[in-house]
Amino acid sequence: MPKTSSAYLSFIGLSLVIFAAHVLARSLWHMEFWSSIMLQSYGVNVGLGLILIALAHRLLRGHSTYVGWVFVALSGLKFILFFALIWPDIKQDGATSSAEFSSFFVPYLGCLLFELRFLSKRLNAL
């Protein structure tokens, strides 16, 4: 299996494991099972993570100097989408609960750690 295909599968698999653990933790702490904020956040983070893997694969063939810029640009896009799509829902009631906080930052952190590991392994292999 090519490196990129296994990276996609690993990323999706890790995202599903994080999602399942997140849902389990929320149910154990008697929070609502999942929320629209949580689903939007996983969608944004996983979608942009998959785009990063695809762009990194394409750029590492000949333009490895651009990979860092792609990572920074997509990280910035994550926060732009956070403030455009998710932040209004979080601030709707005037307070930020721990459930709302974790709904964004658990998938963000999980995806970020995978992306950094993926990029560091690929760049070290050059």
Q: Quick one: tokens of 35?
A: 């929320």
pTM (predicted TM-score): 0.86
Residue entry with tokens 């392994």:
121
Give 34's DSSP letter: -
Helix 98-124 and helix 36-59, axial crossing angle in degrees, nearest 10:
10
The per-residue pLDDT for range 6-47, each reduced to its tens digit, is 889 999 999 999 999 999 998 898 877 678 889 999 999 999
